[in-house]
């Protein structure tokens, strides 16, 4: 099938300090396949190597920035130097194929359980208010344990943990880091007034609630320098019981402040997505978050949330975004950029394999040429 030479999706773009061959990015996706001690598994190295390609950016799955930040079992850790060798293996595997990779740093905050905490302690959060969400433990999905409020001193310690995690990613050879300030995890919990009930310098006004995210961003930039730190946000996101009384004002202010930083990009999850699923159907709800925040943020915008080839092309042509992150179809199409470039059939993703401890539905998908050779171009699981 001929390549569409008018496509903007496959034009080169400079993203911060990186030069990308095209605008298709692999989104960060939790897959829960780390080793039992939170270290990188052989499966994970193979997974990212399979999906790496020349000039293409991968954002690795959320990696725990602090020992008390685990929201689910199976996430890789970056809270200790012992994790650096495993991350180095992933960076080397991606770079060997000419690709680029960012680590994503996250802290679960209140989305946790005592069994995931050091010494069985309580999860931490901006406030100790009620939360009825779930955490993924060895025993499966369980109701999260009650969280306690972080002190000012502890907040500063968490910021330092993010800085140290960023440094470990740099030592491991990663090209940059993305800070996970979306989907109801700790940074997002500080932002939104449904979860932040503080009355000190980290709570109350929009300016105060944004302070933590901005300070963590500054800490990461102090490690990587300009153009190698990104921030991911989910305006109007509802996952993990999130919500804000005035999301447009909150995220508009945050975007204005982040525009002052030398970020690689601002990564925006469109509100039509709920966790790893569509709220209704992604194609039925137009992307709106990037269009609104483009007025406040003049740097590179990456969008994610139910995009396919045509919808990705449309938002790039509109100017509301500069690059597009694809998640679910990257699980089942290791050669996704090439399939999109040539408008080839996509292997359907299978939800039952999103999370697990085996290579099944993780490293056993084929690239298009292999399917053609086997006569299975429309293969689905």
User: Does a structural domain hold residue 116?
Assistant: yes
Specify the number of domains making up the chain.
Answer: 1
Q: Is residue 381 part of a domain?
A: no
How far, in Å, CA of 64 to CA of 244, rounded? 25
Report the candidate in 124, 368, 127, 133 with the shortest Cα–Cα distance to residue 241.
133
Structural domain that includes position 274: 13-373
* Structural domain includes residue 379: no
**Which residue, chain included where needed, has tokens 């911060």?**
16
What pLDDT score does 4 carry?
A: 53
pLDDT for position 375? 62
What's residue 138's pLDDT?
Answer: 84
**How far apart (Å, rounded) are the C-alpha atoms in residues 57 and 35?**
25
Say what the pLDDT of residue 373 is: 57
Q: Are 272 and 304 in contact (CB under 8 A)?
A: no
Each residue's pLDDT tens digit, 257-272: 999 999 999 999 987 5
Q: What is the pLDDT of residue 276?
A: 47
How far is the C-alpha of 242 from the C-alpha of 250, rounded, in Å?
13
Residue with tokens 């994970």: 44
The H or E element containing residue 160 is: helix 152-171
CATH assignment of the domain containing 37: 3.20.20.70
pLDDT at res. 368 = 84
Residue 292 maps to a domain:
yes
Cα–Cα distance list, 172 to 44, 147, 167, 176, 357 (Å): 15, 32, 9, 11, 24
Q: Could you give the residue numbers annotated as active site?
A: 185
List per-residue pLDDT tens for the chain, 381 residues long. 444 547 899 999 999 999 999 999 999 999 999 999 999 999 999 999 999 999 999 999 999 999 999 999 999 999 999 999 999 999 999 999 999 999 999 999 999 999 999 999 999 999 998 888 888 888 888 999 999 999 999 999 999 999 999 999 999 999 999 999 999 999 999 999 999 999 999 999 999 999 999 999 999 999 999 999 999 999 977 777 788 999 999 999 999 999 999 999 999 998 755 544 554 444 445 566 899 999 999 999 999 998 999 999 999 999 999 999 999 999 999 999 999 999 999 999 998 999 988 999 999 999 987 666 556 654 443
pTM: 0.93
Q: Does residue 3 lie in a domain region?
A: no
Q: Alpha helix locations (H) across 192-335?
A: 206-224, 247-258, 289-293, 309-318, 328-332
In a domain, 256, yes or no: yes
Residue 4 lies in a domain: no
d(C-alpha 37, C-alpha 363), whole Å: 21
Q: Is residue 172 part of a domain?
A: yes
How is residue 296 written in tokens? 């406040």
């Amino acid at each position: 099938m001929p390549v569409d030479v008018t496509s903007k999706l496959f034009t080169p773009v400079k993203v911060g300090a990186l030069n990308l061959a095209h605008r298709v990015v692999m989104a960060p996706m939790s897959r829960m396949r780390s080793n039992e001690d939170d270290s990188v598994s052989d499966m994970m190295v193979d997974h990212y190597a399979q999906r790496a390609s020349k000039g293409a950016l991968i954002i690795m799955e959320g990696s725990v920035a602090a020992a008390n930040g685990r929201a689910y079992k199976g996430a890789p850790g970056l809270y200790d130097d012992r994790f650096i060798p495993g991350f180095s293996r992933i960076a080397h595997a991606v770079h060997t194929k000419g690709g680029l990779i960012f680590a994503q740093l996250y802290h679960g905050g209140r989305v946790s359980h005592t069994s995931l905490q050091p010494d069985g302690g309580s999860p931490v959060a901006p406030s100790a208010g009620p939360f009825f969400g779930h955490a993924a433990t060895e025993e499966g999905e369980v109701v999260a344990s009650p969280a306690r409020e972080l002190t000012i001193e502890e907040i500063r310690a968490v910021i330092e943990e993010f800085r140290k995690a960023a440094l470990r990613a740099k030592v491991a050879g990663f090209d940059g880091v993305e800070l996970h300030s979306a989907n109801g995890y700790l940074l997002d919990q500080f932002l939104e007034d449904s979860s932040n009930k503080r009355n000190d310098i980290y709570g109350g006004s929009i300016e105060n609630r944004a302070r933590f995210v901005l300070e963590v961003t500054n800490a990461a930039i102090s490690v990587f320098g300009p153009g190698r730190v990104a921030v991911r946000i989910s305006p109007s996101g509802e996952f993990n019981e999130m919500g804000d009384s005035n999301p447009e004002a909150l995220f508009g202010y945050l975007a204005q402040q982040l525009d002052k930083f030398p970020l690689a990009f601002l990564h925006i999850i469109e509100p039509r997505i709920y966790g790893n699923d569509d709220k209704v159907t992604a194609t039925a709800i137009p992307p709106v978050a990037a269009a609104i925040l483009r007025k406040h943020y003049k740097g590179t915008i990456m969008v994610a949330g139910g995009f396919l080839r045509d919808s990705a092309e449309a938002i790039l042509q509109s100017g509301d975004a500069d690059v597009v992150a694809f998640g679910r179809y990257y699980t089942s199409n290791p050669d996704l950029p090439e399939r999109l470039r040539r408008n080839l059939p996509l292997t359907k993703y299978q939800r039952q394999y999103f999370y697990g401890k085996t290579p099944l539905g993780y490293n056993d998908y084929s690239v298009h040429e292999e399917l053609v050779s086997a006569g299975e171009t429309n293969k689905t699981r």
